[in-house]
Structure 1
Amino acid sequence: MMPLLSPTREVARSCPEFSVVLGPDYAGKSTLLSELATHDVQCVSYDDSFVRPECSLVNDLRDGFVSRAVRGLGTAYSTDFVITLLQTSVVYLRDQAVQADSDRPVVVDSYYYKVLAKCVLAGMVNDDLFAWWRTFPRPSRVIYLDVDPETAWRRSGEGALLNPFEHYGQVPTWDGFQRFQTDLRLLMINEIGAVPMSLLDATTGVGQTVAAVRRTLRSGDAEQLDR
């Protein structure tokens, strides 16, 4: 049985070093993480393939958010209720990062950065919860998978695969998707703040992206973008 987590104020000092892989929707993070996991990298994500069976509640809550909660925002559910539901995934990522082994590289999928940015774009703001997320352990670096909205739109089946948390408007359109993803990129990079960041082109192919990420994890190379 895993040990209980320390109180919040103790989490930062006990957390092993970890990196965050971040990017817009359809940047290829899930594919990248699956490949990295075959190269002795500990990958933390709430994607189905990375969640242990005993933590399956994480999957249920995430799926419930996409299929029910976000569609009922403002009618069936309040903003605070929906953000609280999202927070379960954010805290799960933190918990898994804290409990990771320190003898192998640890890569966390998006951390709280993407969820927070999407909440803001959707008009769902709770400054108290956001302030708490910002106290979570700081990653050693962010590896940002950059992809243009046109490529992401094609990967989404030209909108066929989108959920309501990936575009502006009631129905997916190219304009609503392009504007949302452009704003999302700006907010995520702003949220990263002073954390060192490596910018990778996510359109070069999985093999090249995996190789670039592995080099970054080994060397610790990261650069500050002009924000």
Structure 2
Amino acid sequence: MTAGRPFFVLLGPDGAGKSSVMGRLAELLPEWRLVSTDSAFVTPEHILITRLRRDLQDYLLPGLGTAYSADFLASVLQTAVVHMRDQVRGRNPRVPVLVDSYYYKILAKCRIAGVRDTAMYDWWRTFPQPDRVIYLDVSPSSAWRRRSDGANLNPLEHEGGKGDMAGFERYQKELRELLLEEVGDLPVTELPEQPSVERTAELVREVLTS
């Protein structure tokens, strides 16, 4: 737990709608600080995070397994992990904070990719822990549609080389299990899939402010 005002994490599998919900929460909770590696939430002095994320999408992931190893991928992703840790650790104790996924999702995806660097994982686990995790659930079929029926997948969202729905479902099932395993010792509120971003954001807001 952290001192001062609450620190929460918004978590969920690929296609759960976290980015959309975070965007809506920025309007609903202007007094909160929202931390994410999405460009909409990265301040100008941290533009390197946005550039690294773009280069990862454009260059690293297309070459994963050929030009770049899974260990190299983990090394690049660790920049995002440390950035989010720094944002939590250096926060104003009077301002409540919501963090998108924190290190939990990156750790789970590194494990699925075959990265066995337990010393790195152990270090991440020493980072400040949230007061609560809000887990957004989503059915594989809905997540698949949100990924344009697979057209917008990257190699860290599915099993196998084809990127078909079966490989996507298998990957997301394993990801869900690892995410919930990682936060198993923390207070977790699971929210079932909702019919709209607005409704999901309202439910998250209720948890954050209760």
Match of 2:24 among 29, 32, 35: 35
- Contact between 2:159 and 2:168, CA under 8 Å: does it hold in 1? yes
CA distance in 1, matches of 2:154, 2:83: 22
Match of 1:84 among 64, 71, 75: 75
Q: Where does residue 114 of structure 1 map in the other structure?
A: 105
Alignment pair present for 1:20 and 2:32: no
Change (3 A) 1:125 1:136: same
Helix, strand or coil at the partner of 2:182: helix
- Contact between 1:15 and 1:137, CA under 8 Å: does it hold in 2? no
Change (3 A) 1:14 1:88: farther
Shift of 1:13: 6.4
Helix, strand or coil at the partner of 1:63: helix
Helix, strand or coil at the partner of 1:119: helix
Amino acid across the alignment from 2:174: D
Structure 1: 4+ residue segments shifted above 6 A? 12-15
Shift of 1:81: 2.1
Structure 1: state its 5+ residue gaps: 1-11, 220-227
Point out which structure has higher relative CO (alpha carbons under 8 A, 6+ apart).
2
Alignment pair present for 1:204 and 2:161: no
Match of 1:213 among 201, 204, 209: 204
Q: Where does residue 5 of structure 1 map in the other structure?
A: none
Amino acid across the alignment from 1:23: G
Q: Superposition pairs for residues 42-121 of structure 1, below 5 Å?
A: 42-121=33-112
- Contact between 1:16 and 1:100, CA under 8 Å: does it hold in 2? no
Q: Superposition pairs for residues 150-161 of structure 1, below 5 Å?
A: 150-161=141-152
Deviates more, 1:167-176 or 1:100-109: 100-109
- Contact between 1:118 and 1:184, CA under 8 Å: does it hold in 2? yes
Percent of pairs identical after alignment? 47
Instruction: Give per-residue Cα distances to partners, 1:83-124, cap 9 Å, x unaligned.
Output: 110000111111112222233321000001101111111112
CA distance in 1, matches of 2:4, 2:172: 31
- Contact between 2:135 and 2:191, CA under 8 Å: does it hold in 1? yes
Change (3 A) 1:128 1:49: same
Structure 2 length normalisation: TM-score?
Answer: 0.92
- Contact between 1:21 and 1:145, CA under 8 Å: does it hold in 2? yes
Structure 1 length normalisation: TM-score?
Answer: 0.86
CA distance in 2, matches of 1:97, 1:195: 17
Alignment pair present for 1:142 and 2:155: no
Q: Where does residue 127 of structure 1 map in the other structure?
A: 118
Deviates more, 1:125-134 or 1:107-116: 125-134
Alignment pair present for 1:180 and 2:171: yes
Structure 2: state its 5+ residue gaps: none
Deviates more, 1:194-203 or 1:95-104: 95-104
- Contact between 1:44 and 1:93, CA under 8 Å: does it hold in 2? yes
